[in-house]
Amino acid sequence: MRLILLGPPGSGKGTQAQRLVHRHGIVQLSTGEMLRAAVAAGTPVGLQAKEIMANGGLVPDEVVVGIIADRIEEPDAKKGFILDGFPRTVPQAEALDELLRKKHLKLDAVVELRVNESALLARVEKRAEETRARGEEVRLDDTPEVLTKRLAQYRSLTEPLIHYYSERRKLLTVDGMMTIEHVTREINRILTALGALEPKEHEEAKSASKASKTARKTTKAVKSAKKAAKPARKAAEAGRKAKAARKAAKKTAKQPAKKAVKKAAKQAARAANARKGAKAAKKTAKKLTKKRAKR
């Protein structure tokens, strides 16, 4: 899947690009990052760009296209890529088309995020006010004045690309004023309809969605089961408490009876001892009487 995202500053291109990267395993190619990486790696094109930048010049389109040509040959770009910051002009778009033709690759789609510029300016003004209210310093590139200039530049340089790709039936327009989630869903719907997603990717996305749905259902079922089991647990607890109460009552009831039996036994023992003592005394008295009679 090879894509270009078009839209003015603040339209949400960066956010949507990252979502596509994470979901489909493709790479986001930023011309600025590619230039710095090529310079650091010391590639022939990177050395050429380094010399131009060192002299304070703008890197020409052919050098940028050369860097892109090298970058899309790397393994992580084989599955696809999103171009960020390129092309910015019609000549750059023509150079990119020529590059892809030479490599026998095709551009799947150019997604334009269409937004209301007045709403963007209002959004930036509000953000700037909130930043000042927090006592923080407003970034120089995050003010209505800077955004106005960038929007004017976009209209003059980049907006012609909309007509260029529309003529080639590559342009797809999405309402960028929707919520982030809605924009993401719409982009994925369009790419699926175009067949830009590989069957495996589509199945994986579908399986992930199904697994997520199943997990939600399972969680809901577990919660319902816990809720349903709560009265049963309460009843069981009440039963245990009632059993303990009966046992205690039975034990309490037995205690007086045991005490009475012990008391009666003691009394009987004392009576028996008294009878034995009386009998012994009687016998002793009888013996004494006999002895006296003999005398």
* Catalytically annotated residue among 36, 79, 123, 150: 150
Instruction: Indicate the DSSP class of residue 59.
Output: P
* Catalytically annotated residue among 78, 103, 106, 139: 139
Dihedrals φ, ψ of 189, to 5°?
-65, -45
Considering Cα of 233, then 237, then 240, then 246, what sign does the dihedral take? negative
Taking residue 263's Cβ as centre, other Cβ atoms within 10 Å add up to 10
Taking residue 27's Cβ as centre, other Cβ atoms within 10 Å add up to 17
- Predicted confidence band at 163 (pLDDT cuts at 50, 70, 90)? very high
DSSP 228-261: HHHHHHHHHHHHHHHHHHHHHHHHHHHHHHHHHH
What is the pLDDT averaged over residues 255-269? Answer: 64
What whole-number distance in Å separates Cα of residue 161 and Cα of residue 2? Answer: 17
- Predicted confidence band at 186 (pLDDT cuts at 50, 70, 90)? very high
In this prediction the pTM is 0.60
Nearest of 5, 32, 35 to residue 17 by alpha carbon: 5
How far CA 130 is from CA of 33, 125, 126, 147, 206, in Å, comes to: 31, 9, 6, 17, 41
- β-pairing, 81-84 with 2-6? parallel
Active site residue 168: no
What whole-number distance in Å separates Cα of residue 202 and Cα of residue 25? Answer: 12
Amino acid 10 reads: G
Whether the CB-CB separation of 6 and 112 falls below 8 Å is answered with: yes
What whole-number distance in Å separates Cα of residue 39 and Cα of residue 67? Answer: 10
Considering Cα of 129, then 135, then 140, then 141, what sign does the dihedral take? negative
pLDDT in the model for residue 214:
64
* Catalytically annotated residue among 23, 114, 123, 127: 127
What whole-number distance in Å separates Cα of residue 32 and Cα of residue 265? Answer: 107
Active site residue 139: yes
At a CB cut-off of 8 Å and minimum separation 6, what does 77 contact?
26, 27, 29, 71
Question: Does 105 score more than 90 pLDDT?
Answer: yes
* Catalytically annotated residue among 19, 88, 114, 123: 88
Element holding 113 (H helix, E strand): strand 109-114
Whether the CB-CB separation of 2 and 108 falls below 8 Å is answered with: yes
Active site residue 132: no
Active site residue 150: yes
Q: Which domains does the chain have, with CATH numbers?
A: 2-214 (3.40.50.300)
Q: Which of 71-75, 198-202, 251-255 has the lowest mean pLDDT?
A: 198-202
pLDDT in the model for residue 14:
87
What whole-number distance in Å separates Cα of residue 264 and Cα of residue 261? Answer: 5
pLDDT in the model for residue 199:
47
* Catalytically annotated residue among 2, 13, 50, 71: 13
Residue 139, SS3? Answer: coil
- Predicted confidence band at 16 (pLDDT cuts at 50, 70, 90)? very high
For the chain, report the end-to-end CA distance as a whole number of angstroms. 145
pLDDT in the model for residue 158:
86
Active site residue 290: no
pLDDT in the model for residue 161:
94
